[in-house]
A and B are shown apart, each in its own frame.
Chain A
Amino acid sequence: MNAYDYGKPTPDPTADTQAYWDGMKQGKLLLQTCSDCGTIRHYPRPVCPACYSMEHRWTEAKGTGTVHSWTISHHAFHPGFKGELPYILVTVDLAEGVRMQAQLKGADASVLKVGLPVRIAFEAATKDLTLPVFVVA
């Protein structure tokens, strides 16, 4: 149970990740960017893997990418997802060079292929929590 609770698994942000979720709430996909060498990293972490700097800023991603892989869930491993089966989870290569995962909404599984262009959208789960989804671009 945390501030986001709504009957599904929820993020439990730390000081390293809170900005990402605050960005979601504002309809922005924010990625950690190294203040020293500019390398973008995801998921958030304290140290730049390219130059070991611990200084970073948050930059807004374009929100576009292509499908790298996917799965279609037919079994609810958490009761909160029973009503949504089957749902598509896509692994996406973002334009910024990192990946992210989210559900693909508004599309049939038959469109899925490696390289499918997608863009991000934002869905409010609760008044405090917004989750990313992808739609076909």
Chain B
Amino acid sequence: MSLKGKAAITGVGDTRYSRQSGKSVTTLQMEASLAAVRDAGLDPKDIDGIIAYGSMAVVAEDYITNFGIADLRFSAVTPLGGASAVSSIQCAAAAVAAGICNHVLIPISRNGSSGAGGRIGSRVREMPQFRLIGEFEMPLGAIAPAQLYAPMARRHMELYGTTSRQLAEIAVSTRHNAILNGNAMMTKPLSIEDHQASRMISDPLRLYDCSLESDGACAFIVSSMERAQDCAKPVIQVLGVAEGHPDSPSAITQRPDLTRLGLAKAAPKAFAMAGVTHDDIDVAEVYDCFTYIVLCQLEDLGFCKKGEGGAFVQSGAIRLGGKLPINTHGGLLSQAHMAGFNHVVELARQLRGEAGQAQVADARIGLVTGYGDMGDGSIAICARA
């Protein structure tokens, strides 16, 4: 048995993304969750499973009180940071395939730009999976993700000749898509030269290699294939789904191959489960906390060989109209940092034909990835049924 065809994404919703929401994370999350429920054509009480975003303030219990859910039958947390959204698809698909529940709501909200809760560095340190980083790297000055991930990018550059201008192509094409989206924080055109002139944060990562800090919320619903037929929108079937954890998952410094992420383990499993090839993928939403992480994932996904990601992106392949359009919503780099939950929302919209000006013509099969913590990876391959 596999999870192929056992579950579907039936509802998606989001709030406005901004630097200052002026709302609580609970209010933001309920707003996005209700939008997802209505998008699916469901009643809030129909939700009988919740996967809460681990470190955030809103928990499954909040939905029992706000939605009046009489019999919540499944709750879980997938603690993979930015890979949580896509790993939650796997978790939810398993739950609905087993008959535990019918409709699993998977939401996130954050006041990541305006809110209290501390800067990224201090927040990271409090998470148990980063205990070793907190003890052995932060005291030396390696504190934020940009600093922890930069040695992976530098190693890739030294081994394969990858350049900053190639990373810039990812930032530029993503910004182009954000401008088309209508709900993106970054709306000013960006050029390769703008990227090259932006200040260095942690070499080789410049400002425009880094994602945003955002306020907002989004949510999606994973339903059993059987119950998906009751929903309002075209059924977006989950064909293949997997998660993978890198070697030395809690310390990049100790990882045997710095250029290989957990996604490299997950991707072949998801493609095999789905029974599709790379040429079948019409659109891909690829987790983009940093430009380099996109480039590395394109290799780990198998769209090009290890070391060839720079040439692949420079070819224009990832632009709208290219052979593999990616991050058609503007991603974490230019739409908003919703930890990749917005990537799932965008994939569903693309496969339904609801992606507006950034719609990929006749997109039928697509994939979404997550990347989290120090290299956890997840992937879902979906298709319009």
Contacts and interface: CB of A to CB of B under 8 A. Distances in A.
Interface string A71-99: 11111011001001011010100000011
B201 interface: yes
Given A71-B203, A99-B254, A9 B143 contact: yes
Contact of B253 (A10, A91, A113, A114): A91
| Shortest Cβ-Cβ A-B pairs, 5 listed | A71-B150, A72-B203, A69-B151, A77-B144, A69-B155
Given A69-B151, A69-B152, A77-B119, A102 B158 contact: no
Query: How many B residues are at the interface, by size bracket?
Result: 35 or more
Contacts of A100: 136, 253
A52 interface: no
A75 B258 contact: no
B78 interface: no
Nearest to B124: A77
Given A11-B136, A72-B203, A114-B158, A89 B151 contact: yes
20 contacts: A11-B134, A43-B132, A71-B151, A73-B202, A74-B203, A75-B146, A77-B119, A77-B121, A77-B144, A77-B147, A81-B143, A84-B141, A89-B141, A91-B151, A98-B254, A100-B136, A101-B137, A101-B142, A102-B140, A103-B140
A73 to B, nearest CB: 5
A100 B254 CA distance: 7
B200 A89 contact: no
B125 interface: yes
A72 B258 contact: no
A62 interface: no
A57 interface: no
A74 B158 contact: no
Contact of A74 (B140, B155, B199, B251): B199
Given A74-B200, A77-B147, A11 B141 contact: no
Contact of A113 (B147, B158, B159, B204): B158
Contacts, number: 107
Given A43-B132, A70-B151, A75-B146, A131 B139 contact: yes
Given A8-B139, A9-B138, A91-B151, A42 B254 contact: yes
Interface in B230-280: 251, 253-254, 258
B43 interface: no
A71 B125 CA distance: 20
A72 B138 contact: no
A2 to B, nearest CB: 11
A38 interface: no
B140 A131 contact: yes
Contact of A9 (B139, B158, B159, B251): B139
Interface string A3-19: 00000111111000100
A76 B138 CA distance: 12
Contact of B147 (A43, A69, A73, A84): A73
B198 to A, nearest CB: 11
Which one of B136, B144, B152, B205 has the greatest number of beta carbons of chain A within 10 Å? Answer: B136
Contacts of A132: 140
A68 interface: yes
B193 interface: no
Contact of A69 (B119, B132, B137, B154): B154
B362 interface: no
Interface string B174-215: 000000000000000000000000011111110000000000
Interface in A34-77: 42-43, 68-75, 77
Contacts of A103: 140-141
Contacts of B136: 11, 43, 100-101
A74 to B, nearest CB: 4
A132 B135 CA distance: 13
